């Protein structure tokens, strides 16, 4: 359990980076960020797949089909929603909506995976989930107050950002539960190989999406310098960094955690991503969170600290 928790922490630190990319490249449309990131992920997976080819040969056609579905929903669609939300509503609000994942996944997994992982009584989960929910409420309230106080804010654009972030939550509630199903049913398989397999299946999806985006911009005479946009060196560097760290290393660490922990506990530990994303966002802003945001962060940490020991009992 300790090793699985540490792997989940490492995954959260890596995934938090994806919340900063759209803020740094704020002049790039979400499709360029999503397909660029996963194109980089797929290209990075090619040499890794060659090195790990012995393990990859053991995967069946059904395994590759599952990797394709996971890549489509958990990678491409999720990041399209997330990047669009970040560019419309800024960093903290989408981060906090995504932050509901620990609560949503824990509830869904506790009901869905009771036969495999055991069902934890709701009275044992309630304090932890309640603290996490209260923490999310504190930070959301702070962000809404900031929006109301900004005379230049666009409430409609902000609301669309929130809706898109909810779409990202739906995608990433489905992904970790299905991914954990495969890993827990294939304990003899390498989590590293499964991360690489998902990268390989992401490559054709990202290549197709990037090509369609290029064709659309060309057909509509969009003022956009394809294929790499107005800041090509920064764009390529960010996509490679996020593709390696957030996509491959993050997926590897998450697979390791998912194979060791009950899915409901792994879901709660996604809060590490929320905390990392908040920290990176405020560093990028060169600002310090207000008191209410800090209180929310404290409640999130308390919720996880309370919840982890509850899962030790069979």
Residue identified by tokens 């399209």 is 80
**What average pLDDT does this structure show over 150-179?**
85
pLDDT, residue 314, reads: 46
C-alpha–C-alpha distance, residues 224 and 259, integer Å? 43
Q: Percentage of the chain surpassing pLDDT 90?
A: 32
**Better pLDDT: 112 or 41:** 41
Return the structure tokens found at 133. Answer: 């929910």
The answer to whether 243 and 43 have CB atoms below 8 angstroms apart is yes
Residue 312 predicted with pLDDT over 60 = no
Read off the pTM: 0.81
**Phi-psi region for residue 277, left (φ > 0), alpha (ψ -120 to 50) or beta?**
alpha
Class of residue 244 by CB neighbours under 10 A (exposed 0-12, middle 13-18, buried 19+): middle
Taking the CA atoms of residue 250, residue 20, residue 300 and residue 252 in that order, the dihedral angle to the nearest 10 degrees is 0
- CB-based contacts of 303, cutoff 8 Å, min separation 6: 102, 127, 128, 129, 130, 131, 132, 135, 268, 271
Residue identified by tokens 């962060």 is 297
3-class secondary-structure state, position 275:
helix
Residue 92 predicted with pLDDT over 70 = no
C-alpha–C-alpha distance, residues 127 and 38, integer Å? 38
User: Which tens digit of pLDDT belongs to each residue from 258-286?
Assistant: 888 888 788 778 878 878 888 888 888 88
pLDDT, residue 29, reads: 85
C-alpha–C-alpha distance, residues 87 and 94, integer Å? 10
């Amino acid at each position: 359990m300790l090793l699985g928790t540490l792997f989940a922490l490492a995954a959260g630190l890596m995934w938090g980076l994806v919340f900063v990319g759209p803020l740094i490249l704020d002049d790039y449309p979400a499709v360029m960020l999503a397909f660029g990131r996963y194109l980089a992920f797929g290209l990075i997976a090619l040499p890794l797949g060659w090195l790990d080819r012995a393990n990859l040969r053991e995967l069946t056609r059904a395994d590759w089909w599952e990797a394709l579905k996971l890549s489509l929903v958990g990678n491409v669609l999720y990041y399209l929603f997330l990047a669009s939300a970040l560019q419309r509503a800024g960093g903290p609000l989408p981060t906090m909506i995504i932050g509901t994942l620990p609560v949503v996944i824990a509830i869904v997994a506790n009901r869905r995976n009771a036969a495999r992982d055991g069902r934890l009584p709701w009275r044992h989960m309630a304090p932890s989930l309640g603290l996490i929910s209260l923490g999310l409420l504190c930070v959301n309230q702070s962000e809404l107050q900031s929006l109301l106080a900004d005379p230049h804010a666009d409430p409609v654009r902000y609301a669309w950002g929130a809706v898109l972030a909810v779409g990202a939550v739906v995608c990433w509630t489905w992904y970790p539960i299905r991914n954990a199903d495969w890993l827990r049913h294939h304990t003899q398989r390498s989590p590293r190989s499964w991360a690489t397999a998902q990268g390989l299946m992401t490559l054709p999806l990202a290549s197709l999406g990037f090509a369609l985006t290029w064709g659309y911009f060309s057909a509509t005479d969009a003022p956009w310098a394809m294929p790499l946009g107005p800041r090509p060196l920064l764009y390529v560097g960010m996509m490679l960094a996020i593709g390696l760290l957030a996509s491959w290393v993050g997926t590897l660490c998450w697979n390791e955690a998912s194979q060791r922990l009950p899915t409901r506990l792994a879901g709660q530990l996604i809060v590490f991503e929320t905390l990392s994303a908040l920290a990176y966002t405020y560093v990028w802003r060169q600002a310090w969170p207000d008191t209410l945001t800090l209180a929310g962060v404290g409640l999130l940490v308390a919720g996880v600290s309370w919840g982890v020991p509850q899962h030790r009992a069979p």
